Amino acid sequence: MNPITSKLPQVGTTIFTTMSALATEVGAINLSQGFPDYDCSPELIELISKAMRDGHNQYAPMAGVMSLREEIANKVKKLHGGEYDPVTEITITAGGTQAIFTAISAVINPNDEVIIFEPAFDCYAPAIKLMGGIVKSLELSPPDYRIPWNMVKRLINNRTKLIILNSPHNPTATILHKEDIEQLSAIVKNQDILILSDEVYEHLIYDGETHHSMARYPELQQRSFIVASFGKLFHATGWKVGYCLAPAFLMQEFRKVHQFLVFSVSSAMQYAMAEYLKNERVYTELPEFFQQKRDYFRKGLEQTQFELLPCFGSYFQSVKYGHMMVENDTDFSLRLTKEAGVACIPTSAFYTQGTDHHILRFCFAKRQETLDEAVNRLIAFNP
């Protein structure tokens, strides 16, 4: 007897869990799931310990510790010029994924349509479907994965409720450009369309490029949820702390869901992060830190048989292998993990239809010796 009808019948174990488990099983270097293999700042760990010793061990306020919300408001103002009231427009969340789920839950009703761009992070579509919304996916193509805004216009109708953007982008490492912002602004002007902007990699942007946050543009800011992640900022993905920015009328609805989903997030971590963020170098030096890793990894990969795709942001590098063989990317990822000892992610996992461009994603948020060993194994691999 099984009285349950699944709300997500097509959803199984995520590719991230599958590949990380396989990497552990066969002893492969795990460049699949996006997390560092080096420690976060000892200073930050000490600040958390101090916060615990100072007695910050009980529930935090539902919306988050005020000192942290104030530091976030200061950071956004300095970097993007956007004004956010820490009282009514900033909420601390249990990571970026929770913030994304909460925002979608707060505004999507049955039969509302949501435009997403694929390849897309795998939490978007399930959250939309759970709320009874309709996913309208627009597939992007390598190597540049640029958004065809003329096609976006064709998807817009009176049921369009939300557009989800992700920049810097996972998995493609692309970014939004000024012309993208101009096209987006023109499309949503005089429309009741909201924006969910996934900006968890906001500080991981390279070559002097600008991060075009929705917070930079008042006309977009006033209709946007912006999601960010301290896990990416502080090299501590396991702490699962992030935040959401939104105008007060949207944040009011966001918090109605948030309070019943998680209510609040670790007190000690929030007090520590607030103190740590007072040092601007924590985030201003991050692009250089990761660009060095990107450049080092790319130089190594140039010695392999893979074709490198551009990487403008995030800590992911995509490669093409279609000139080597026609094997589908999922099978090839599994074989690469087992035979070469390097785990990656097949990008078809980021498409609802499993679209396969013969492209793999590697994470380079790793120690230099880890990247060296991974590259050596990939050079030696004979497909």
Domains and CATH numbers, the chain: 15-40+284-380 (3.90.1150.10), 58-280 (3.40.640.10)
SS3 193: coil
Residue reference for tokens 């010796």: 369
Residue pLDDT, tens place only, 141-181: 999 999 999 999 999 999 999 999 999 999 999 999 999 99
Looking at residue 259, its pLDDT comes to 97
Separation of alpha carbons 217 and 286, rounded Å:
23
Above 90 in pLDDT, residue 11?
Answer: no
Can you say whether residue 190 is alpha, beta or left, with left for phi > 0 and alpha for psi between -120 and 50 degrees? left
Looking at residue 10, its pLDDT comes to 82
Separation of alpha carbons 125 and 5, rounded Å:
19
Looking at residue 186, its pLDDT comes to 97
Question: Which of 33-37, 200-204, 226-230, 269-273 is the least confident region?
Answer: 33-37
154: how many CB neighbours lie within 10 A of its CB? 9
List the structure tokens of 42. Answer: 């000892």
Please write down the long-range contacts of 285-288, taking CB distance under 8 Å and 24 or more positions apart: 286/203, 286/204, 286/233, 287/203, 287/204, 287/205, 287/206
Smallest Cα–Cα separation from 302: which of 219, 191, 201, 379? 379
Looking at residue 5, its pLDDT comes to 87
Residue pLDDT, tens place only, 211-223: 999 999 999 999 9
Whole-prediction pTM: 0.96
Confidence of residue 3 (pLDDT cuts 50, 70, 90): confident
